[in-house]
Structure 1
Amino acid sequence: METPPSIFLRPFDLSDAEDVLKWAGDDDVTRYLRWTSVKTVEEARQHILQTAIPHPWRRSICLLKDGRSIGCVSVRPHTGDGRCRADLGYAVSRQFWGRGIATAAVRMAVEQAFEIFPEVVRLQAVVEVENKESFGESWV
């Protein structure tokens, strides 16, 4: 695996719509996610407004060199009796697959999650059996 590009995490903004369309419009990227691909810039804007911004903790994975959004990482705490757990998820532009981006983003998210959600003691990620690429991630 080559050295991953430098990344940072930040909240989504409506100005991300064109970048989000590039990766969230790819059916291969969204295949194992809970939401379907966006097909237009307007759908990307609506996704940001209705899904990304109101989410308890969803961050844009951005390239340090230009701030461009190339994916997302999220932490969603459970409620009620399960509030000590949270689900972790991520998606990365196909252009950056196999370069350690998801691993780096998940590590950053894990560091922040336990500070932001002090009641959480367990982060868990569900990986579909068919999603063999995610099994290779070394962040476990």
Structure 2
Amino acid sequence: MKSARLILRPIRLEDARSVQRLAGDREVAANAAGIPYPFEDGMAEAWISSLDERSHVFAICLTGSGEMIGAAGLVEAAKEHSRTAELSYWMGRPYWGRGFGTEAAQALVRYGFETLGLESIHANCFSRNPGSRRVLEKAGFRHIGHEEKALQHLGQAEDLERFTLMRPG
């Protein structure tokens, strides 16, 4: 999958070193649910190996160099006949604020609706993360709610903002 500045390709075991380096940054981990800190040896390999057929996870790479700068994916709902998925993404800190998250999210939305045939996509972000909220809004998501203390992450109760996007047409 390509966009103006990015290539999104299926994540593979060889990406584990880049995943650990980028996601292992405390600021990246603090802003993405599910990323542990510290990000220890073996965790990236275990995560990549755990992905199943419902997980459409991609390495986000720069078109010119092929350098991995983050990851994004759609995980389809486990319910039979459900045509929905959750969008998630993270970007290495050196690439924040440059529009790469929005570009990757827009590419995944197209993939979800055009390739996977989804009817809806949902996403969440921490309430304290306005950059992630902007990514979702620019990708066309509609804010549907706020949930206080929705989950524990790195020892802290986190409030979540919830978003949804329905198939166009």
Instruction: Name the structure, 1 or 2, with higher relative contact order (CA <8 Å, separation 6+).
Output: 1
Larger mean Cα displacement after TM superposition, 75-84 or 19-28 = 75-84
For structure 2, which runs of at least 5 residues remain unmatched after alignment?
Answer: 141-169
Residue equivalent to 2:49:
49
Instruction: Please report the TM-score for the alignment, with normalisation by the length of structure 1.
Output: 0.82
Could you tell me how far apart the structure 2 residues matched to 1:69 and 1:127 are?
A: 22
Query: Contact 1:87/1:125 (CA < 8 Å) preserved in 2?
Result: yes
The answer as to 2:103 corresponding to 1:104 is yes
Structure with the higher strand share, 1 or 2: 2
Query: Contact 2:54/2:77 (CA < 8 Å) preserved in 1?
Result: no
Residue equivalent to 1:133:
131
% of aligned pairs identical? Answer: 26
From the superposition, tell whether residues 54 and 34 of structure 1 become closer, same or farther in structure 2 (CA, over 3 Å): farther
Structure with the higher helix share, 1 or 2: 1
Could you tell me how far apart the structure 1 residues matched to 2:131 and 2:123 are?
A: 14
Residue equivalent to 1:35:
35
Shift of 1:55: 5.5
Query: Contact 1:19/1:68 (CA < 8 Å) preserved in 2?
Result: no
- Work out which of the two has the higher radius of gyration on C-alpha atoms and give 1 or 2: 2
The match for 1:123 among 121, 133, 145 is 121
Residue equivalent to 2:21:
22
Could you tell me how far apart the structure 1 residues matched to 2:12 and 2:102 are?
A: 23
Larger mean Cα displacement after TM superposition, 90-99 or 9-18 = 9-18
The answer as to 2:65 corresponding to 1:66 is yes
What do the CA deviations read for 1:63-119 (whole angstroms, capped 9, x no partner)? 11221211111111213278132111100000000000000001111111123322x
Shift of 1:45: 2.4
Could you tell me how far apart the structure 2 residues matched to 1:46 and 1:12 are?
A: 13
Shift of 1:47: 2.5
For structure 1, which runs of at least 5 residues remain unmatched after alignment?
Answer: none
What do the CA deviations read for 1:106-138 (whole angstroms, capped 9, x no partner)? 1111111123322x2111111121122212222
Could you tell me how far apart the structure 1 residues matched to 2:64 and 2:54 are?
A: 26
Q: How many residues align?
A: 133
Query: Contact 2:23/2:29 (CA < 8 Å) preserved in 1?
Result: yes
